[in-house]
């Protein structure tokens, strides 16, 4: 039935018609956990590409206002929305605010994430539940509300040839086991099949769902892993490309995935990891 709707209406990717650098012109994006690290770079990247951006945050030190000013200086619109993505009522209220301000949503970047590390035998239920709550349940709640709006509105060909795009911030730890971080690795493994199952379900509605699997990116979440030369040297043994990633490395992938350049891409994880998932130990051994 859904295929019938689009049978005679498959708009072509419209990027040749848009100003270079404005490939997301007219699109409305929500980025969760957007006032720090990867989320901040993604929000600014989407805005520079022409999207209006809702900046979700839980705790703010003034960053959100500075981001709004910067985004407006690039000619895009921006608002900040406080909400804990692990709480259903707060996610629903966030979408109400977003839809009231921007009228709709075209792009969701499910980015918010936390770590609460401990060896398994010392990990508390609270540490387990906090990480699953934000990293997995939060992605489910935000994706569900986005899909409701994508289905309601459908394709608007002059905006994008898809009815909506979801980008889940996963991790190399959706495939690499991580001792001492079983809650985090379980949440990201869960995100992989959450993403793929939603992608399969909503593809006939012309909604694309993908993940980005960052490797080691310099943000507050993993500060101790790269903050000293010794730590960075140790980290580089895991990265064949021999540099630690920057948030902008992930932002560029997000902008592309959100754009019509990626119109035939759905249900996949793009690892942006300098080769961390290439089993670097086997480069000289095995
Ligand atoms: P970060 O700590 O800088 O950013 C995390 C953001 O999530 C912050 O803005 C934080 O306030 C927000 N957040 C936390 N709990 C929230 C909640 N309940 N509701 C809404 N927002 C909440 O870390 P980051 O590295 O930028 O992480 C962003 C995403 O990238 C996470 O999903 C993380 O798992 C993933 N990731 C990061 C790396 C890396 O090396 N930095 C690698 C792989 C994956």
Residue 286: its pLDDT value, please?
72
Q: What confidence tens digit (pLDDT) does each residue in 254-271 have?
A: 999 999 999 999 999 999
* Best residue for ligand 1 mutational test, from 37, 63, 145, 184 (most atoms within 8 Å of Cβ): 37
User: How would residue 136 be classed by pLDDT, with cut points 50, 70 and 90?
Assistant: very high
CB of residue 41 inside a 6 A radius of ligand 1: no
Task: Name the percent of the chain lying above pLDDT 90.
Answer: 90
Residue 9: its pLDDT value, please?
59
Q: What confidence tens digit (pLDDT) does each residue in 157-188 have?
A: 999 999 999 999 999 999 999 999 999 999 99
Residue 221: its pLDDT value, please?
87
Residue 16: its pLDDT value, please?
43
**Ligand 1 atom nearest 247 alpha carbon:** 26
Q: What confidence tens digit (pLDDT) does each residue in 82-101 have?
A: 999 999 999 999 999 999 99
In the reported structure, the alpha carbon of residue 113 is separated from the centroid of ligand 1 by a whole-number distance in angstroms of 4
**Ligand 1 atom nearest 250 alpha carbon:** 30
* Best residue for ligand 1 mutational test, from 31, 32, 39 (most atoms within 8 Å of Cβ): 39
Q: How far apart are CA 273 and CA 278, in angstroms?
A: 9
pTM passes above 0.75: yes
CATH class of 20-283: alpha beta
Provide the annotated active-site residues. Answer: 184
Q: How far apart are CA 194 and CA 213, in angstroms?
A: 14
CA distances to 23, 210, 249, 250 from 256, rounded to whole Å, are: 9, 11, 11, 10
pLDDT of 216 higher than 80: yes
Task: Name the percent of the chain lying above pLDDT 70.
Answer: 93
| Bridge partner list, 164 | 207
């Amino acid at each position: 039935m859904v295929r019938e709707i689009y049978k005679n209406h498959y708009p072509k990717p419209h990027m040749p018609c848009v100003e270079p650098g404005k490939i997301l012109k007219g699109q409305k994006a929500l980025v969760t956990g957007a006032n720090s690290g990867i989320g901040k770079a993604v929000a600014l990247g989407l805005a520079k590409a022409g999207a209006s951006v809702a900046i979700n945050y839980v705790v703010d030190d003034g960053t959100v206002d500075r981001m709004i000013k910067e985004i407006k200086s690039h000619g895009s619109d921006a608002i900040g929305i406080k909400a804990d993505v692990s709480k259903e009522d707060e996610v629903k209220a966030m979408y109400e605010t977003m839809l009231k301000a921007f009228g709709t949503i075209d792009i969701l970047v499910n980015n918010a994430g936390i770590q609460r590390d401990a060896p398994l035998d010392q990990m508390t239920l609270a540490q387990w539940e906090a990480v699953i709550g934000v990293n997995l349940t939060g992605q489910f709640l935000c994706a569900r509300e986005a899909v409701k709006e994508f289905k309601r509105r459908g394709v608007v060909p002059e905006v994008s040839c898809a009815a909506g795009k979801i980008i889940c911030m996963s991790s190399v730890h959706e495939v690499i086991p991580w001792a001492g971080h079983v809650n985090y690795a379980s949440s990201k493994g869960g995100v992989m099949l959450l993403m793929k199952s939603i992608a399969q379900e909503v593809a006939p509605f012309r909604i694309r769902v993908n993940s980005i699997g960052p490797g080691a990116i310099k943000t507050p979440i993993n500060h101790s892993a790269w903050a000293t030369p010794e730590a960075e040297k140790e980290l580089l043994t895991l990265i064949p490309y021999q540099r630690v990633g920057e948030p902008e490395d992930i932002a560029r992938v997000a902008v592309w995935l959100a754009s019509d350049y990626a119109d035939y891409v759905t249900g996949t994880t793009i690892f942006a990891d300098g080769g961390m998932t290439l089993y670097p130990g086997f480069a000289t051994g095995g």
